[in-house]
Amino acid sequence: MEYLIDTANMTMIEKCVDLLPITGITSNPSIIKKEGRIDFFEHFRKIRGIIGADKTLHVQILAEKCEGILEEAHTILEKIDRAVYIKIPVTPEGLKAIRLLKKEGAKITATAVYSKTQGFMAMEAGADFIAPYFNRMENLDIDAAAAVEFFASMIDRYGYSTKILAASFKNIHQVNEAFACGAQAATVSPDILLAAFAVPSIKKAVDDFAADWESVFGKDHICDMP
C-alpha cells in the first residue's frame, strides 16, 4: 500500500514525511488556493527538496483543451522537474493529451475519475495512476468500492501497469475500504490521516504501559538500565 498526502502546505509536508511512511504528495488548484498567492514553481521545487527524489510529486494542469494541457505539462516539467506526475482530468481532450505525453515519456496521474469508463479509457491511454474520487462518487450514489474493485480486477486480468490512486475521502474508513477493494495507493488529507492516531484508547494504552513500568522501575527508562 502507498500512502500519499493531499496538501501543498510545506510545514505539514515536513511533519508527515518525518513521522509517517509517506510515498508522495498530491495537489490540485483547490489545495493550492489554501496556500495563498505562492510563487508556484518555486513552491513545488521546495516541496521536492523536502520529499526527495524517491517520493512522487503530482501537480495538476488547468487547461481543458489538449494543446493547452500539453503546454502546461511541458512548463511544469521544465520549471519543477522531469519526475513530476502530471495530473490530468479524464475527459476526451485529457485522454488525447495523456496519450501524447506518454509517448514523450511523461508520468501521468489521470484524475477526476467518477466512472468505470473513465478509468478504463485512462488505462488504455497509458496513465500511470488513475484517481477515482471515492467520497464524491458516494455522494452521487455511485458505488465507489465496487468501482475500485472492478478497476483492480481489470488491471490484474489484462496486465495494465496502471495503479489505482484512490482520492477524495471524508474519513479513514473510506481510505481503508479503498485499499481493501484493491487500490494500490491512496492520497489523503493530512488531517484525516493524523486523526486516525488521535483515538483516546491509543493514548490510554500508552499511559497504562508507562504507569506499569514506573510502578516497578520508577523513573528509569530502558536506556538507563545497567
Active-site residues: which are they? 87
Pairing of strands 185-188, 163-166: parallel
Alpha carbon of 53 to those of 14, 17, 20, 48, 102: distances in Å?
15, 13, 17, 7, 20
- The Cα–Cα gap between 211 and 1 comes to 35
- The Cα–Cα gap between 41 and 81 comes to 10
- The Cα–Cα gap between 142 and 195 comes to 26
Of the chain, the end-to-end C-alpha distance in Å amounts to: 40
